[in-house]
Amino acid sequence: MDRYRYFIFNQRNMVVLGLFQIAFSTVCVVSGFVDGIFRTESQLGKTRAPIWAGMVMGVPGILALFSSQRKNPVLVNVLIVASVTSCVAILIVIVYSSLTLNYGEEEELSPAPVHVIHTKFVLNKVVKGANIATLAASACSAVVVLAMAYLGCRSLPRCSCYDSVTGMVSEEP
């Protein structure tokens, strides 16, 4: 019975963090689709990195929702591993968005009709806006994922702040 004595796991905070993480990953996936549709074809653009990384970023959010409902240390360990994996995906998205922020439909001095030049200008702004949204969502997601990993680590019985006799978090002076 002692090994199932559960840790102090703030369920309300984990639900809120999980919902935020799912929202940020959704923003990343939607911005990735916008980026993929309106960007000119390139080797970097064909990778669809924001879409795949956004899906990976959503996994800790889903696990946070499940771990807040089920008091299972294995699920919390999986949440911590998924959070670290999500940090790697966030780094990939930040690098991708930083590299492609200035890449888009550049204005060319060509004898093209005015509506084509205007369309290229608008598409360039849409792609840049999608990249900025991806960068902002990734930065916020990094904070949320690290908070989820911290809360998960604090709640594990092998944590230094966990008292195995009482099952409570020991106060530090």
What's the average pLDDT block by block, 10 residues per block, for the chain (173 residues)? 48 88 93 80 71 91 87 83 93 87 54 55 76 91 92 71 51 50
pTM over 0.95: no
> What pLDDT sits at residue 49?
82
Cα–Cα distances in Å, from 107 out to 44, 124, 126?
20, 9, 14
Quote the CA–CA distance of 159 and 7 in Å, as a whole number: 10
